[in-house]
Homo-oligomer: A and B are copies of this chain.
Amino acid sequence: MSRTLIAIDDPDDPRIAAYRDIRERDLVGRQGRFVAEGRVVLNVLFSTSRFAAESVFLRQNRVAGLGELIDRIPAEVPVYVAGAEVMDRIAGFEMHRGVLAIGRKPETDGAALLDALPPSALVVALSGIANHDNMGSIFRNAASFGADAVLMTGDCCDPLYRKAIRVSVGAALKVPFARFDDADALAEALEARGFSLLALSPRGARDVADIAPAERQALLLGSEGHGLSAAVMERLPTARIAMTEDFDSLNVAAASAIALHRLWRAGR
């Protein structure tokens, strides 16, 4: 390993200011930046991610085991290293993993993203997904089943929130995504480009296991509780996941796994 590592001894060092009080900043936002954490996520960041990194911050005792990852970090990205005590003081809590990076997140234009998709494409469309666990899980499933993009309404939570990235095991850095004002704008943009939309709902008309996906297929998922608006549901073909009738219903991330698996497998 020939990489130069920059030792940080002072918790107030301005070079690692972006890592300060990580949890508190999760709440107020980071103005165009995101925090990636953990070896697996950083491996995505430095291989198949569509985002650039600004810096990496490692705990001293993790460095020896991360040679392969460190070799992947571009030369222009500084790699800072600190002992556990200094790192915990900077982050504001105990950083068990001790593997962090800051990335830049330019907004993606939805129309441009859609225009760049191949003729045969599978797209996930999200309306009102407010929970970071669900968001991260949906991205992980989208990556596992080769979705080309994730589109979302403006009221969805940020897929680049620290926890969402972690739950997605990096898929949020890989699968392109963009926001639209609302579900109607999103549906119109997809339909204008020849996508067939299928809205998943416990009250859907057809069993998703019977659906033959279109060449350009979009799967629309609504938030739990509220689900999709009546107006959207009325206009679109709908599908349900068959299940027992005596229990609540599936979590939206679990539903996405089942539906994406089906659409991906049937579309091959």
CB contact list, A142-172 vs B, under 8 A: 143-146, 169-171
Report the minimal beta-carbon distance from A145 to chain B, rounded to whole angstroms. 6
Count of chain A residues with a beta carbon within 8 Å of a chain B beta carbon: 33
Q: How far is the CB of A267 from chain B (nearest CB, A)?
A: 12
Q: Which residue of B lies closest to A256 (CB)?
A: B254
Report chain B residues within 8 Å CB of A40.
248
Among A89-97, A106-114, A182-190, A239-247, the one that faces the other chain is A239-247
Q: How many copies of this chain?
A: 2
Please pick, from B133, B171, B174, B254, the residue contacting A140 in the complex, using a CB distance under 8 A. Answer: B254
- The answer, among B144, B241, B249, for a CB contact under 8 Å with A247, is B144
CA distance A250 to B264 in the complex (A): 14
A137 interface residue per 8 A CB criterion = yes
Question: Are B261 and A241 closer than 8 Å at their CB atoms?
Answer: yes
Answer yes or no: A258 CB below 8 A from chain B CBs.
Answer: yes
Q: Which of A223-268 contact B (CB under 8 A)?
A: 241-244, 246-251, 253-255, 257-258, 261, 264-265
- A interface residues (Cβ-Cβ under 8 A, vs B): 40, 48, 133, 137, 140-141, 143-146, 169-171, 174, 209, 241-244, 246-251, 253-255, 257-258, 261, 264-265
Q: 13 A-B Cβ contacts within 8 A?
A: A143-B247, A143-B248, A144-B244, A144-B247, A144-B250, A144-B254, A145-B244, A174-B247, A242-B264, A243-B264, A244-B264, A254-B257, A258-B261
Q: A209-B261, A209-B265 are in contact. List 16 more A-B contacts (CB 8 A).
A: A133-B133, A140-B254, A143-B247, A143-B248, A144-B243, A144-B244, A144-B248, A144-B250, A145-B243, A145-B244, A169-B248, A242-B265, A243-B261, A243-B264, A254-B254, A255-B257
